[in-house]
Amino acid sequence: MPPSPIRAEFRRSGGFAGIPVTATVTADELNEEQAAQLRGLLGPGIPQKTRDPASGGGGADRFQYELDLDDGHQHRSYTWDETDVPEAIRPLLTALTRLARPGPAQ
């Protein structure tokens, strides 16, 4: 049985307008480099250190990113303030932002 594709649920909130955007995709819908980044984020070598919600973030107009990954066996959740996004992950978040559509406020 082939492995289940990685499912990614993405959310960007905050920013000047405060309009959240969301996207749900599988790794199969992304290019090979972006799919590899998703696999890497689900793997054991990536620390899950993310922004401390109690810290209040970096500013009222900054974006916050949430990424939930699941392949049917593993689940990982990441939350970053825009100033804390690792450089290697920025292209993936940019691609997911392009696929995202306005979503419900939380």
pLDDT in tens, the chain (106 residues): 566 789 999 999 988 888 899 999 999 999 999 999 999 998 775 555 455 555 555 566 899 999 999 999 999 999 999 998 999 899 999 999 999 999 765 5
Supply the pLDDT for residue 43: 79
Question: Pairing relation of β-strands 21-26 and 7-14?
Answer: antiparallel
DSSP state of 52: -
Alpha helices in the chain (DSSP H): 32-42, 90-99
Under 8 Å between Cβ of 11 and 65: yes
Which of 86, 87, 79 has its CA nearest to residue 50?
Answer: 79
